[in-house]
Amino acid sequence: MNIRIAIADDHPMIIGGLKNMLSVYPHIRLAGAYGNGADLLQGLQENQPDVLLLDIQLPDKTGDMLAPVILKHYPDIRILALTNLNSALYVHNMLRMGVLGYVLKNTDPEVVIRAVETVYEGKQFIDPALLDSLDQFTQRMKRESALKPALTPREKEILRMTVNGDTIQEISEKLFIGLRTVEYYRSNLFLKLDVRNMAGLIRKALLLGLSE
């Protein structure tokens, strides 16, 4: 087994620590290190690793923005999220995008190596510290999904575009409908999903899988 990895993280100390840790494992070789999303995307054009250690909180682009783009253009890259975000929702969303692994930065080096080896083989790996919270989150999702509100095709379309970051103006132009019509549909979505603001709307749409 010979694994080429790349690291995307904006903290030099993290990159340095990972380099030192990986240096004692002869079957793992560092193929590149990047401090932001733009440099990462540029670097991948010339050099694709087997496994990418991707920080979710990069300064210019978040990991959940980068992962779909990377997997679309480089489907053979295995992405392993390496982050401080101890959140079952983030784990769920990253896995849904095609990321194979999710580990915390404060985990033991042996766990990181095991994660790299596991995702290299095309298998999923979740930090053991997150398994209980992820299981509870999954169970809650199953319960809430049974209570999914009935949305019309147009409401689903506008909800999906909203979750993707489209403004009312952009939705209006793309769907060739008036601004007031978009606002009307969004008002219906607020009522049906029982939320009070956009953050709540997006979070609940993701939680219930309504934006897919």
What is the value of pTM for the model shown? 0.69
Total domains in the chain come to: 2
Residue 93 shares a structural domain with residue 189: no
* Structural domain for 194, as ranges: 153-208
Q: What is the CATH classification number for the domain harbouring 182? A: 1.10.10.10
Look at residue 144 and tell me if it is in a domain: no
Residue 101 shares a structural domain with residue 200: no
b/e 28-50 (16+ beta carbons within 10 angstroms → b): bebbbbbbbbebbbebbeeebbb
| Domain end call among 132, 161, 195 | 132
CB 63 within 8 A of CB 37: no
Six-digit token pair at 88?
A: 């079952």
Residue ranges, the chain, pLDDT below 70: 144-147, 212
Look at residue 137 and tell me if it is in a domain: no
Q: What is the pLDDT of residue 90?
A: 87
Q: What is the pLDDT of residue 147?
A: 62
107 closest CA partner among 90, 122, 85, 91: 85
Residue 47 shares a structural domain with residue 127: yes
